[in-house]
């Protein structure tokens, strides 16, 4: 006797597995359309995007809702840095904020907070953000950058490789800006790839110094050198400009 047809065990009836969102900066790029599909079950998605060069761009989608879904991390506010008249200040967007198109956001941290104060954070080198009204009290934020938007360790994610070093880099930059307003204004309008190049050049030099003292840690040098090589092949003028910026910052010695 033939076994009864069971749609849950047959190839016709098996539901396709839900696609998993990218979890690290090294994951392959995906399209914004695919990321939008993932947002049905998530509060945010960070991913690399396709570009017309060898260097992927970065994107962060986040949905701010007044009423939480309780199915995932439900961000209610987003905080990020903007440059206003040459000075940095924090911008806070919530589920009632007015729509905005291609607003420039500055280098530094991006924080998503839920109604309990829990957060997931990122560090970036600047870019643009769109704020779209999906409903009366629901906002979609689309952060885009030519440079990486790196995950920091948070409530529902692990830190990306290079994220802690980027936070440290900006921590060393800040004291230089306090005494030099012109340099703060300069940094506020620096394109993301140029600032990213300055970071990579600084990290390659620092990692090389560390490897000379501790030969058991060559991987750090290789990682940043490989990323610098990729950026050089994709955008050599940005690397040259980043080297000049690094000289102006005078972070070493």
Q: pTM of whole model > 0.75?
A: yes
pLDDT of residue 12: 47
**Is residue 53 pLDDT above 80, yes or no?**
no
Asked if residue 83 has pLDDT above 70, the reply is yes
Higher pLDDT, 53 or 102: 102
Q: How confident is the model at residue 18, as a pLDDT?
A: 52
Domain ranges of the chain: 32-151, 163-249
Number of C-beta neighbours around residue 29 at 10 A: 15
Q: Quick check: 66 pLDDT over 70?
A: yes
Q: What is the mean pLDDT of residues 184-208?
A: 94
CB 76 within 8 A of CB 95: yes
pLDDT of 132 > 90? The answer is yes
Backbone angles phi, psi at 36, to 5 degrees: -65, -35
Beta carbons of 62 and 112 less than 8 angstroms apart: yes
């Amino acid at each position: 006797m033939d076994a009864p047809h069971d749609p849950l065990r047959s190839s016709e009836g098996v539901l396709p597995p839900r696609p998993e969102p990218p979890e690290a900066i090294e994951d392959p790029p995906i399209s914004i359309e695919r990321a939008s599909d993932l947002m049905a079950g998530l509060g945010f998605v960070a991913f690399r995007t396709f570009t017309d060069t060898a260097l992927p761009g970065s994107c962060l989608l986040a949905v701010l809702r007044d009423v939480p879904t309780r199915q995932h991390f439900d961000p209610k506010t987003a905080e990020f840095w903007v440059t206003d008249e040459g000075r940095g200040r924090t911008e806070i967007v919530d589920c009632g904020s007015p729509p905005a198109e291609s607003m420039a956001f500055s280098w530094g941290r991006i924080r998503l907070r839920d109604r309990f104060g829990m957060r997931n954070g990122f560090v970036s080198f600047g870019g643009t953000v769109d704020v779209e009204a999906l409903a009366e009290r629901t906002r979609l934020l689309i952060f885009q950058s030519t440079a990486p938007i790196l995950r920091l360790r948070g409530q529902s994610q692990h830190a990306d490789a290079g994220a802690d070093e980027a936070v440290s880099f900006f921590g060393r930059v800040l004291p230089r800006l306090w005494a030099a307003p012109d340099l703060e204004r300069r940094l506020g309008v620096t394109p993301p790839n140029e600032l990213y190049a300055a970071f990579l050049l600084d990290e390659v030099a620092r990692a090389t110094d560390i490897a000379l003292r501790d030969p058991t840690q060559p991987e750090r040098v290789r990682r940043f050198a490989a990323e610098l090589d990729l950026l050089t092949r994709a955008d050599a003028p940005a690397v040259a400009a980043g080297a000049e910026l690094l000289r102006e910052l005078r972070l070493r010695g």
